[in-house]
Structure 1
């Protein structure tokens, strides 16, 4: 009888160890698959966040500013490191999703209003005639995934250096559409930092507003 109890105890210990190991692995996997803020918490849909450069000395947060003195406004980075910028919200294509997954189509929208009286959701603009670049601007569309809203969808990816995250334009909301994918980086023009498609991604971290 004692031997049977010992066998049962040993079996229970093995099962408990296996369960703990499985839970630990699943928790680690969840942390890898979800974007985290600077405090290590999973990003939440609709919650307001600031975006900061992952390395100090590279400017401040993100905001909107007029370019060529006309609407719509364009997404830019504040020059002053002490500036928080404007908080923004992340809205995944699946509006039932609470935590923000990596590599998932989502809308990005500033929690603000502008004199343009337009949506503050991001969208990737057309090729600029003067610079040949594609800038990130406001007046994007929230929701309604498909060919008509293709320019308004972005993804969050972990940067290859492991220092933070990057934003990628490579929407998957239209299976039949041809999309030119690329990272979102920063261009310095006339003393201002504008966001747009670039071979050099803007690497950042999230901080809850």
Structure 2
């Protein structure tokens, strides 16, 4: 009888541990190795589907002027993908892992051809030509309430695939935002990242 009880207790303990592990992992953003993304590491962001001429995230010179825009590699032309670092708005005291649905800043680990310009992601105002909100680089200048540098990573319905959103409700819980999910648009053979269109599922590859 004691052996039966011991086996039963062990089975319960294993199920509890598995549940706790799954619950713990579920709150983190995972890279393609199924490991939690860390704030002090660099990662490449890649669209889930890359057979339509697009590659990983990079900086794009849209019209020959600053600031630079966020975009995707056009695999038909020589470009270089760039890694990023994630800086949580409210990091946990016990680790620097990146969590789902939490506001964070994203910074390309590269120098900019624009003098004194940051490579930090920033939401721009609605573009007149496309009618969409493009994503540029630089520190927010206050045009959209000084919250333009904060994004978040959310789950899709498929495990390991994510969407990136702009909806900084952790930074400003009482604000009312026109939230949006990052997608892309094709302009003059350049793939620009923008909100207000179809979402672009992505994965994160550790450098």
TM category (shorter chain) comes to 0.7 to 0.9
Cα pair 2:32 2:160 within 8 Å, conserved? no
How far apart are residue 163 of structure 1 and its match? 6.4
SS at match of 1:149: coil
Which is worse superposed, 96-105 or 19-28? 96-105
Question: Does residue 47 in structure 1 map to residue 41 in structure 2?
Answer: yes
- Residue of 174, 177, 180 corresponding to 1:176: 174
Give the superposed CA RMSD: 2.1
Question: How many aligned positions are there?
Answer: 198
TM-score scaled to structure 2, two decimals?
A: 0.87
- Residue of 87, 100, 104 corresponding to 1:102: 100
Rounded to whole Å, the distance in 2 between the matches of 1:64 and 1:84 is 9
How far apart are residue 129 of structure 1 and its match? 2.5
Partner of 2:130: 131
Provide, for residues 59-104 of structure 1, a one-character-per-residue CA deviation record: whole Å limited to 9, x for no partner.
Answer: 1111112222211111010011896610001111123441111111
Cα pair 1:60 1:83 within 8 Å, conserved? no
Query: After superposition, where does 1:151-162 map in structure 2 within 5 Å?
Result: 151-162=148-159
Rounded to whole Å, the distance in 2 between the matches of 1:154 and 1:68 is 25
Unaligned segments of structure 1, at least 5 residues = 1-5, 142-146
Question: Does residue 196 in structure 1 map to residue 194 in structure 2?
Answer: yes
More helix by share: 1
Rounded to whole Å, the distance in 2 between the matches of 1:14 and 1:55 is 46
TM-score scaled to structure 1, two decimals?
A: 0.86
Rounded to whole Å, the distance in 1 between the matches of 2:174 and 2:156 is 28
Cα pair 2:62 2:190 within 8 Å, conserved? no
Question: Does residue 205 in structure 1 map to residue 203 in structure 2?
Answer: yes
Unaligned segments of structure 2, at least 5 residues = none
Query: Which protein is bigger by CA-based radius of gyration?
Result: 1
Partner of 2:24: 30
Which is worse superposed, 13-22 or 199-208? 13-22
